[in-house]
Structure 1
Amino acid sequence: MIRRKYRRAAGGAVVLLMLAMVAGCGQNPPQQAAAPPPPSVTVASPTQRTITDFDEYVGRFVAVDSVEVRARVSGYLEQIHFKDGQLVKEGDLLFTIDKRPFQTALDQAKATLEKARAELAFAEGDLERAAQLVRDKTITQQTFDQRTQVKRVAEANVAAQQAAVRQAELDLEFTDLRAPVSGRIGDRRVSVGNLVTGGTTGTTTLLATIVSTDPIRFEFTFDEASYLRYERLAANGNVNAARDNIAARGGATMVRLKLIDERDFNHVGRMDFVDNVIKRSTGTIRGRAVFANAQGIFTPGMFARVQVPGSAPYTALLIPDTAIGSEQARKFVYVVRPDNTVAQKYVELGPLDNGERVIRGGLQPTDSVIVEGLMRVRPGMKVNPETAPSPASAAAGGTAQK
């Protein structure tokens, strides 16, 4: 019984399989899937613009004037007329030393001067009388010569006392210490009531320091190769980026600067000095620029970056930096041919200029560069190019940062 049931089940399965094969033969064959359309990409022609390459260096600010305030006379400090760290102008009163001893010395010098003048007046009168007496043979010539000598000594004594009065007046004037330059003063080094040592020796008391703030200098160093490049530019007649300006002693090349918390080089200054020797230990030479600092943002000792013109103006091709791909050490772009197929071109890159990359070689001004949709294309593919909207025309005379 079991075998019969098994045979019946197997026979039924065969019948069902044959029916399914007959039904399949009666249907139409499946159609092939339609090919996908070419991917859409955005293309743009390279921008042509006249630019200047800029070299970038790191440096720090230094004050044009830095002065140590020291007393010229010794005495007790009586008053301080400023707050630590404030801005002062040239001539502002900073410190006052006790004037009383110097006023007394001045009064004494004036009194001595009056005494010397009285002695001179007596000697002059005595000499006038002697002149008549010597003509009358009442006195000898020797007596007349003695009175003449007394008058000359009195005149010299008056001159000496006049000098003593002027010195006493200077000492009294020196008790008021005024700012020799305009700038920002540091903290006081001596409190009121302390004895201040003055004079011209190295043991004088330091009272405070003043550094000028406007204008301010920026010092940096550049390498020997850059210096030579500037010299070559000068030899080729490119005066805008040559020794007469950039590497000149006292040139006037415009430079740009940004602080460590800024993104753009918005501060404009001028080169005013380049050193006369290259350091043997580092192979670098020191340059200096001057910047206006009316707002007091720049402080001596502060670090910043400066851009110096490194080439003569030239016409360059520029494309968006995002359109450039990398293949190991080589850089490339995708361009669309007239038949809408993609081609790969290797390019030589230059500096950035306002988000666009300068292309030094490998690209033509008429090429249609793919700027959007790079991940969807491969060389040889058909694409559907769409022209990117034309950007606003850039101002002439752009700058490129290396």
Structure 2
Amino acid sequence: MSVTMVVAKMGDAVYYDQYQGTVVSLNNVELRAQVSGFITGIFFKEGDVVQKGQRLYEIDRRKFQDAIAQAQANLANANANLDKAKKDLDRYNMLLKNDAVARQTVDQATATYETSKGQVAVAKAALASAKTDLSYATITAPVTGRIGISQVRLGSQVGAGTTLLNTVSSENPIGVDVVINEQDINRFYDLQKKSTDSTFRLILPDGVTTYDKPGKLLAIDRGVNNQTGSIKVRVQFPNERSILKDGMSANLKVLNSQSGNRVIIPYKAVTEQMGEFFVFVAKDTTIRQKEGGAKKDTIAFQHKVAIGPRLGDKVVIVSGVNAGDLVVTEGLQRLRDSSMVTSGTPGTGTPAKK
């Protein structure tokens, strides 16, 4: 039977395993007010990158300023009472030395002095608290990142700790979270120690474009989900141009450990039977004839193979075929194990004589 044959060759087989991933900000902060009031100022453009410490919102400051003024007045009054109590105590102590005053009066003056000191401390704490509340009336960016669309407008009333104002997400670097099977944990621990620039690549949501920056393994979650037998892994990517956005879906490509110099053959040489893969390998065989002579025939032997990933129109052979073997690529539909073949155009074989 005439068939087409090619030589199995060694080639550079670099291939990746793919995991469905989600882009996540490494620092995602929700902005909530720590004091109640009405929004009187918004100082940013929605969707812009804001710098850490930049003023974003302002809550009506007047009642907090009044509270500071009241706390300052209370502190001044407490200081005056403390000064009076100190002078009274000093005066009674001098009189006590001359037995000119009862001991009970001195004790009362001492107690009044200590109480006045406590009142000063309380007044100072109230002033500090009032200043803190005033500082909370101005909401600043806790991190450098991109701010979203504001959830409140000028004049909106906000509650302390309840109203979501906005969200700031850091963008550079950014992470990609994937879920892996627990059997792959050791592989990823090894990659965490010795990954290279080609280990982690990212396919953007269009399914075609490869992100132009390599990633590195940032973290492996603390434990395995006992219901799914999976664990989360986070890979970090640089994102200077803000191409990757928080919440975006992407495919993470992880360099397969079997990548390297491998046997590669055309994929059309592979046949599948009940979930197993086979290749016909042609070999020259010397057959002894009854007349005493010998002739050489080419025999196609069916080899069971383990295949790796496809590389375009070719496929990686993990085992079953060696470099230099002749594999049948066309005309194999009618072949059986140990069929005699000849190189040529498939379907032009000469029928056997009767």
Q: TM-score range by the shorter chain?
A: 0.7 to 0.9
Aligned-partner SS, 1:126? helix
The number of residues matched between the two structures is 321
* 8 Å CA contact retained: 2:49, 2:144: yes
Cα distance in 2 for residues equivalent to 1:336 and 1:126: 118
Q: Give the equivalent residue in structure 2 for 1:270.
A: 216
Percent identity at matched positions? 31
Question: Against the structure 1 CA distance between its residues 355 and 116, is the aligned structure 2 distance closer, same or farther, given a 3 Å change threshold?
Answer: farther
Match of 1:380, as an amino acid?
V
> Counterparts of 2:319 and 2:260 in 1: how far apart (Å)?
14
Residue 201 of structure 2: aligned partner: 256
How far off its partner does 1:310 sit? 5.2
**Contact 1:77/1:196 (8 A) holds in 2:** yes
Q: Which amino acid aligns with 1:88?
A: V
1:367 aligns with 2:313: no
Deviations 1:137-181 (Å, cap 9, x if unpaired)?
111211111111111111111111111111111111111111122
* 2:126 is equivalent to residue 164 of structure 1: yes
> Deviations for 1:229-254, whole angstroms, at most 9, x for unmatched residues?
x46xx5xxxxxx36x335xxx87754
* The one of 217, 223, 241 aligned to 1:295: 241
Residue of structure 1 equivalent to 2:173: 215
Contact in 2 for aligned 1:340/1:383 (Cα 8 Å): no
TM-score by length of 2: 0.77
Distance 1:76 1:66, change over 3 A: same
Q: Which residue type is aligned with residue 358 of structure 1?
A: V
Distance 1:260 1:344, change over 3 A: farther
Mapping of 1:24-63 within 5 angstroms?
Answer: 43-49=6-12, 54-63=16-25
Report the TM-score, using the length of structure 1 for normalisation: 0.68
Question: Aligned to 2:143, what secondary structure does the other structure show?
Answer: coil
Label 1:68 to 1:278 Cα distance change in 2 as closer, same or farther (>3 A).
closer
Q: More deviation in 296-305 or 323-332?
A: 323-332
Q: Answer yes or no: is 1:332 the counterpart of 2:279.
A: yes
> Structure 1 189/78 Cα, relative in aligned 2: closer, same or farther at 3 Å?
same
1:328-357 deviations in whole A, cap 9, x for unaligned? 564436658598968465443212357642
Q: Which has the higher strand share?
A: 2
SS in 2 for 1:268: coil
Distance 1:143 1:167, change over 3 A: same
Which of 323, 342, 346 is matched with 1:381 structurally? 342
- C-alpha separation between the residues in 2 aligned to 1:74 and 1:357? 65
More helix by share: 1
Q: Give the Cα separation in 2 of the matches to 1:265 and 1:342.
A: 45
What SS does structure 1 have at the residue aligned with 2:146?
Answer: strand
Residue correspondence of structure 1 range 92-131 to structure 2 within 5 A: 92-131=54-93
CA distance 1:344–1:86, shift in 2 (3 Å): farther
Question: Would the aligned equivalents of 1:251 and 1:273 in 2 still touch at CA under 8 Å?
Answer: no
Distance 2:313 2:116 in 1: 86
Q: Is the 8 A contact 2:10 2:261 kept in 1?
A: no
CA distance, structure 1, for counterparts of residue 30 and residue 84 of structure 2: 50
Which of the two has higher C-alpha Rg?
A: 1
Distance 1:262 1:82 in 2: 35
The CA deviation string for residues 271-305 of structure 1, in whole angstroms up to 9 with x for no partner, is 3113512342x443333322222222222222111
- Amino acid corresponding to residue 252 of structure 2 in structure 1: V
The alpha-carbon deviation at position 359 of structure 1 amounts to 0.7
Matched, 1:306 2:252: yes
Change (3 A) 1:176 1:252: farther
- Name the counterpart of 1:388: none
Partners of 2:319 and 2:194 in 1: how far apart? 33
Kindly indicate whether the alpha-carbon contact (under 8 Å) linking 1:336 and 1:370 is maintained by their aligned counterparts in 2.
no
- What SS is found at the alignment partner of 2:247? coil
Which segment is superposed worse, 116-125 or 352-361?
A: 352-361
2:293 matched residue in structure 1: none
Q: Secondary structure of 2:66's partner?
A: helix
User: Residue 382 and residue 256 in structure 1: after superposition, are their counterparts in 2 closer, same or farther (change >3 A)?
Assistant: closer
CA distance in 1, matches of 2:121, 2:64: 21
CA distance, structure 1, for counterparts of residue 313 and residue 92 of structure 2: 100
Aligned CA-pair RMSD: 3.4
Q: Would the aligned equivalents of 1:345 and 1:362 in 2 still touch at CA under 8 Å?
A: no
1:89 is matched with which residue?
Answer: 51
- Cα offset, 1:60, TM superposition: 1.6
Residue 189 (structure 1) aligned to one of 137, 151, 154 = 151
